[in-house]
Amino acid sequence: MFYRQAGVHHSNYKTDSALFPIPFDKWSIYTMLALGIFAPAIFGSFALTSYLLPWMIWAGAALSLNLLIGWAGQFHFGYAAVMSIGGYTAIHATLAGIPFEIALILAGLMSMVVGVIFGAAAMRVKGLYLALATLAMQFVVDWVLTHVPAIGGGASATLQAPDMTLLGFKITSEVGYYYVAFGWLLLVTLFLLNMRRTGFGRALVAVREKDYAASILGVNSFYFKSVAFAVSSFMGGVSGAILVFCFYHAVTPEQFTVNVSIQLLAMVIVGGLGSIIGSYFGAAFILLLPGALNTLVAYVSELLGLQIGIETLAHLPNLFYGILIIGFLLYEPLGLAKVYDNIRKYLMVWPFGYSKR
C-alpha cells in the first residue's frame, strides 16, 4: 500500500544502490523531518514541552545506550549515572562562566572519562557480570553525587541551570529548548545511521557477535569495546546535559537514579536492540504509555463507578509498565522495531500477501 515496490524498477546500479530504494521511505523521512522542524507551529505549547521535548531528549539518550548494547553488545545497567555526570558537569561549567557550547563538550568528555572507567570492567568480564558491575557503579556515582558537596552541592540539593546561550542566541523560550533537543537528536541519529556502515560499526557488530572470534579475525575487541563505551558515554553525557538544561532546568541526584537506568534499558529493549527507529518508538512507548494508561484507568473506573483509591491509582502505571516489559520480552523479543518491520513488510506487497519477498 504505502511501501510500494510496484513500479519501482531499477535499470542501473546507481538507482539500485540508492539510499532509499522504496520511495515511501524517503517521503516518510522527509515528512518526519518537516514535522520535527515545524512542530512548534503545529503543536500547542503543552504538547511541545511535556510530550515532544522529553521524547526527543530520551530518544537521544536511548540511541546512545543502544550504540553500546545494541551494536557493541556491552551491557550497561547504570547509564543514568553517565548522564548525570554530563548534567552536573555542564551545570558546573556554565556556572563557572564557560560558554554553553564548550560546557556541552566538556560534559561529554567528562562522561566519557567516567564511562570508560565503567567500561574498564568490560576488560575483565562480560555479559551478566558486566551488567552487575555497571549496576553497582551506578550506586557509587549516586553516592558521590549526594555525599560530595563540591559536586552535588550538599545533601539532596538542587542546582539551578543558568541561562543558556547557544551559538550567540540566548535560548529562553520553549521553542528554543525544543530546537536544541531536536538538533541533538538529529545529530545522534545521523551519526548512528552512518556509523552502521563504517568499519567502526562493522567492528562493533563483530565484537557483539563473538568477541573471541572477532579477535581471531584481527578486530581488537578490547579496543573496540573501550571505544564503544567512550563514544556512547560521550553521547549520553551530552544528552544528560541537554536533559538538564532544556527539560528539568535544574539538576538533583533524584533525576538520575537506578530506576532511570532501568527505564532507559527498557526503552532500548522494548524498542529493539540495534535499531534506530526502535529507540524512537521505545522512548515514546516507555515515556508516554504509563501516563496514558493511568488516564485510561481513571476514565474506566469513573465509567464503571468503581472506587479506586489514590494510592492504587498511583501504583497502577508501574504495574502496567512491568507487564509491558515482560509482555514484550515474551511475545516480541525483537521489540517495536520488529513490529514496525512486520507492518512494513506486509504493506510492501499488499494486497498480494502470498507473494512473499
Partner 1 sequence: MGFDWIFAGELAINGALSGLMYSLIGLGIVLIYKSSAVPNLAQGALAMLGAYIVLAFFDGAGIPMWAAIPLGMVVMFGVGTGIERFTLRRMAGQPIVMILMLTLGLDIFFHAVTLTLWGGTNRSLSYGIPDDAVEVAGMLIDFTYLAGGIIALILVAFFTYFFKTRKGIVLRAISDDPVASWSVGISVENGVGLSWAMSAVVAAVTGVVFGAIQGVDYTLALLLLKGIAVAVLGGLDSVLGAVVAGVLLGVLEGMASGFLDPLVGGGSKDLVVAGAIILTIIVRPHGLFGREDIERV
Q: Which residues contact 295 (CB under 8 A, 6 or more apart)?
A: none
> For the residues of 82-135, what is the DSSP string, one character each?
HHHHHHHHHHHHHHTT--HHHHHHHHHHHHHHHHHHHHHHHHH--THHHHHHHH
Pick 190 or 329: Cβ nearer partner 1: 329
* Residue 222 Cβ vs partner 1, minimum distance, rounded to whole Å: 15
- In angstroms, the CA 78 to CA 82 distance is 7
Question: Judged by CB under 8 A, does residue 210 bind partner 1?
Answer: yes
Question: Judged by CB under 8 A, does residue 325 bind partner 1?
Answer: yes
Q: Which of 98, 132, 288, 339 binds partner 1 (CB under 8 A)?
A: 132
The pair phi, psi for residue 185, each rounded to 5°, is: -60, -40
From residue 90 to residue 129, what is the string marking binding to partner 1 with x (rule CB under 8 A)?
------------------------------xx--xx-xxx
Pick 137 or 337: Cβ nearer partner 1: 137
Question: Judged by CB under 8 A, does residue 296 bind partner 1?
Answer: no
Q: Which of 5, 28, 146, 158 binds partner 1 (CB under 8 A)?
A: 146
Question: Judged by CB under 8 A, does residue 131 bind partner 1?
Answer: yes
3-state helix, strand, coil in the chain (%, to 5): 75, 5, 25
* Residue 77 Cβ vs partner 1, minimum distance, rounded to whole Å: 8
Buried b (16+ CB within 10 A) or exposed e, 21-34: ebebeeeeeeeeee
Q: Which 212-251 residues touch partner 1, going by CB under 8 A?
A: 212-213, 216
Q: Which 167-206 residues touch partner 1, going by CB under 8 A?
A: none
Pick 197 or 311: Cβ nearer partner 1: 311
Among candidate residues 75, 90, 94, 57, the one with its CA nearest the CA of residue 284: 57
Q: Which of 319, 343, 346, 353 binds partner 1 (CB under 8 A)?
A: 319
**CA 83 from centroid of its chain's CA atoms:** 11
Among candidate residues 29, 71, 76, the one with its CA nearest the CA of residue 196: 71
Pick 155 or 304: Cβ nearer partner 1: 155
Contact predicate 233/74, CB 8 Å:
no
Instruction: Please report where in the chains the cell 521553542 appears, as a residue.
Output: 175
- Is 166 strand, coil or helix? strand
Question: Judged by CB under 8 A, does residue 157 bind partner 1?
Answer: no
**Applying CB under 8 A, which part among 185-193, 249-257, 304-312, 339-347 lies near partner 1?**
304-312
Question: Judged by CB under 8 A, does residue 150 bind partner 1?
Answer: no
- In the complex, the residues that contact partner 1 under the rule CB under 8 A are 69, 75, 77, 120-121, 124-125, 127-133, 135-137, 139-140, 142-143, 146-147, 155, 210, 212-213, 216, 262, 265-266, 269, 273, 309, 311-312, 315-316, 318-319, 321-323, 325-326, 329-330, 333
